[in-house]
Amino acid sequence: MSKEFVDQHIQSSKVLIFSKSTCSCSKKARATLESIGLKPEAVKWVEIDKREDCAEIQDYLESLTGARSVPRVFINGKFFGGGDATVAAANSGELVELLQEVGAL
């Protein structure tokens, strides 16, 4: 069930972030992404700590991305990075370019 849930969201979202509501890195990534001005319909946040299958989702995210930590950011169906990578890419301008390419801005 968790695998299907994750896969469905990855495939159906231009920008998808798996996060936890109390995680400081997730909050930093959210603030960074929100400051860029994403189209509301292009972004989906999944707060996994509010789900009973949180641990299973993290296990599956680890198999996909190499880490269980959050946030896990996917852009156009591909893993982009975690919180630090998202902030660094925003600071360098790389993130804005990528989001423009996929039509998320």
Q: Which domains are assigned to the chain?
A: 2-101 (3.40.30.10)
Instruction: Write the pLDDT tens digit of every residue in 53-62.
Output: 999 999 999 9
Residues in a beta bridge with 15: 43, 75
Angle at the Cα of 75 from the Cα atoms of 99 and 27, rounded to 5 degrees = 90
CB atoms within 10 A of CB 12: 10
**Ramachandran quadrant class, 14 (left: phi over 0; alpha: psi -120 to 50; beta: rest):** alpha
State pTM to two decimals: 0.96
Give the pLDDT confidence of 31-66 residue by residue, as tens digits: 999 999 999 999 999 999 999 999 999 999 999 999
**Each residue of 79-96: pLDDT tens digit?**
999 999 999 999 999 999
